[in-house]
């Protein structure tokens, strides 16, 4: 098997990936808190860990990929102070919190599907694991690393730090953490400002609440990932991913909870993707530069010069290394659109290229190797794409009759496109038949022809023929309905 190297945030080194059990790689990625539309900040981890998931599978690993949905416990300030983000949205829109969760989970799935991000193997929800979270809190209390205070339970960071290292992942010291801690309501129940909530007492107005040994309340945000990771991947698993903004406090707390509840930090390789900036600025609602994925796909935002297709966005994300910041701008996206289209055109041309008999050349084999080496070198997608451009040049030269590819070359390049371009990089050819726009237009045209034939049969009272056409379409997943204005059709 080809060696894969990943930068491990825990050791701050690029390390050879050695799974605990090669027949069963466990990967956990923090999913979205579903209280609004998915935005650029969701697209990047979505695409990054999709590439890792697909690469691991191409390398021959069997992978169980868990990506959660946060639907309770993520509070507005410092993650565990203030109002629950979902409860707040529900209050503002006069909905049940779970209606908010349903709506935005579906919208998140739609956006990920458009970006060709594969579904995880398991997508657990925090609210479906309250019992497991209560059990984990009991263990942490029994181990002496948590305390109950006025109906809430807090993690005792100072005590934990005496026995272990709180800050092992982020490199933050307790003093630095103290300086960065905000002073807000509710802190009065904590012994120290850096302590974090495992369980929060529900105030009378708080609508998302469950019974517990400490009274009615709800779990702290950080606990869900500890609990769901353990439940589906075991005490210790291979890879945990997420955005760099989650490294502290979310993932730092996760490690502390794991150590306190089950005696192991739980994860071998911590992988973090960097953030997307917009014209050099951090993305934020208050800055007016917050762009959702539906807005990007439709072009409906004041910062957008045009609509950008999902594959343009995907290509744009792949053009930067996942550990680098990625700056969004119209210019950058338009350059990505060109690069993406050029690569897709080459993939289409390759299929029709005439070849000479012969084995694959060293030149083509070197390109294939370089692409795979780049992907296995800490998911270096920009280098992989640069090497794919060499393949594009060869294909274009061959198309212009300035070079000749052999049968072996063509076979190797077709395999490269299938496995890497359409496979690991997950680029879908949006302009090819089977892609979005053109295929829909083609279907509409074909249906007009078919329904016109059926209309003629009906005009001639040839009911058998009319029914035959309807039944054939039905078998292909197209339902025809006769109305007084003529026949309409829908895809099932
Ligand atoms: Zn998480």
Q: Separation of 224 CA from ligand 1 center, angstroms?
A: 7
What distance in angstroms lies between residue 233's CA and the mean position of ligand 1's atoms? 14
User: Residue 185: what pLDDT?
Assistant: 47
Q: How much distance in Å is there from the Cα of 81 to the middle of ligand 1? A: 17
pLDDT (0 to 100) of residue 289: 86
Residues 6+ apart with CB under 8 A from 483: none
CA of 138 to the centre of ligand 1 (A): 20
**How far does residue 101's CA lie from ligand 1's centre (Å)?**
17
Angle made by CA atoms 65, 252, 71, in degrees to the nearest 5? 55
Distance CA 3, CA 18 (A): 9
User: What pLDDT digit, counting tens, does each position of 64-97 carry?
Assistant: 999 999 999 888 876 678 889 999 999 999 999 9
User: What is the Cα–Cα distance from 29 to 284, expressed in whole angstroms?
Assistant: 23
Distance 102 CA to ligand 1 centre (A): 19
Ligand 1 centre distance from Cα of residue 67 (Å): 9
Give the DSSP letter string of 102-146.
HHHHHHHHHHHHHTTPPPPSB--BGGGGHHHHHHHHHHHHHTTSE
88 Cα: distance to centroid of ligand 1 (angstroms):
20
- Rounded distance from Cα 464 to ligand 1 centre (Å): 59
pLDDT of the residue at 443:
76
Give the number of residues written for the chain: 492
Distance 193 CA to ligand 1 centre (A): 21
How many angstroms is it from 106 CA to the middle of ligand 1?
A: 19
Measure 68 CA to ligand 1 centroid, in angstroms.
7
Residue 205 C-alpha to ligand 1 middle, in angstroms? 26
Q: In this predicted structure, what is the pLDDT of residue 252? A: 97
**Cα–ligand 1 centroid distance for 228 (angstroms):** 9
Ligand 1 centroid – CA 62 distance (Å): 23
3-state secondary structure of 93: helix
C-alpha 422 – ligand 1 centre gap (Å): 29
Distance (angstroms) between ligand 1 centre and the Cα of 31 equals 7
Residue 397 CB neighbour total at 10 angstroms: 13
Instruction: Classify 233 in phi/psi space as left (phi over 0), alpha (psi -120 to 50) or beta.
Output: alpha
CA of 172 to the centre of ligand 1 (A): 19
For residue 407, report the distance from its CA to the centre of ligand 1, in Å. Answer: 48
Q: How far is the CA of 30 from the centre of ligand 1 (A)?
A: 4
pLDDT of residue 239: 98
Q: Where are the beta strands (DSSP E) in 164-209?
A: 196-201
Residues of the chain short of pLDDT 50, as ranges, are 185-186
* Distance from Cα 241 to the centre of ligand 1, integer Å: 9
**Ligand 1 mean position to 227 CA, how many Å?**
10
């Amino acid at each position: 098997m080809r060696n894969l190297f990943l930068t491990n945030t825990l050791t701050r080194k690029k390390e050879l990936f050695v799974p605990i059990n090669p027949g069963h790689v466990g990967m956990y990625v923090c999913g979205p808190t579903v209280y609004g539309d998915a935005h650029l900040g969701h697209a990047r981890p979505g695409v990054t860990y999709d590439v890792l998931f697909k690469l691991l599978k191409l390398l021959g690993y069997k992978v169980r990929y868990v990506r959660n949905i946060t639907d309770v416990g993520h509070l507005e300030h410092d993650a565990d102070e203030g109002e629950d983000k979902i409860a707040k949205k529900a209050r503002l829109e006069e909905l049940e919190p779970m209606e908010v969760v349903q709506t935005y989970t579906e919208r998140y799935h739609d956006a990920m599907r458009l970006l060709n991000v594969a579904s995880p193997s398991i997508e657990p929800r925090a609210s479906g694991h309250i019992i497991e979270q209560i059990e984990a809190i009991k263990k942490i209390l029994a181990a002496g690393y948590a305390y109950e205070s006025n109906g809430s339970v807090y993690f005792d960071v100072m005590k934990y730090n005496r026995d272990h290292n709180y800050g092992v992942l982020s490199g933050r010291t307790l003093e630095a953490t103290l300086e960065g801690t905000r002073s807000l309501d509710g802190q009065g129940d904590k012994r120290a400002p850096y302590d974090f909530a495992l369980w929060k007492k529900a105030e009378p107005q708080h609508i998302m609440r469950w019974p517990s040994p400490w009274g009615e309340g709800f779990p702290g945000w950080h606990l869900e990932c500890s609990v769901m990771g353990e439940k589906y991947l075991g005490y210790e698993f291979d890879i945990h991913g997420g955005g760099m903004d989650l490294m502290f406090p979310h993932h730092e707390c996760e490690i502390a909870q794991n150590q306190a509840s089950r005696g192991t930090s739980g994860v071998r390789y911590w992988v973090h993707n960097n953030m997307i900036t917009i014209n050099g600025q951090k993305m934020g609602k208050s800055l007016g530069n917050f762009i959702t994925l539906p807005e990007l796909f439709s072009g409906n935002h004041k910062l957008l010069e045009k609509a950008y297709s999902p594959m343009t966005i995907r290509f744009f994300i792949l053009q930067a290394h996942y550990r680098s910041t990625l700056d969004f701008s119209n210019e950058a996206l338009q350059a990505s659109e060109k690069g993406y289209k050029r690569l897709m055109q080459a993939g289409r041309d390759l299929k029709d290229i005439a070849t000479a008999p012969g084995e694959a050349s060293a030149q083509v084999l070197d390109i294939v190797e370089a692409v795979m080496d780049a992907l296995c070198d800490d998911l270096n997608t920009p280098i992989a794409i640069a090497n794919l451009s060499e393949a594009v040049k060869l294909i274009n030269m061959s198309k212009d009759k300035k070079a000749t590819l052999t049968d072996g070359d063509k076979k190797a390049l077709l395999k490269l496109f299938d496995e890497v371009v359409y496979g690991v990089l997950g680029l879908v050819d949006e302009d090819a038949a089977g892609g979005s726009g053109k295929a829909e237009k083609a279907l509409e045209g074909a249906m007009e022809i078919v329904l016109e034939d059926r209309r003629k049969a009906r005009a001639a009272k040839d009911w058998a023929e009319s029914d035959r056409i309807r039944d054939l379409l039905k078998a292909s997943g197209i339902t025809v309905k006769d109305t007084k204005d003529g026949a309409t059709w829908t895809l099932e």
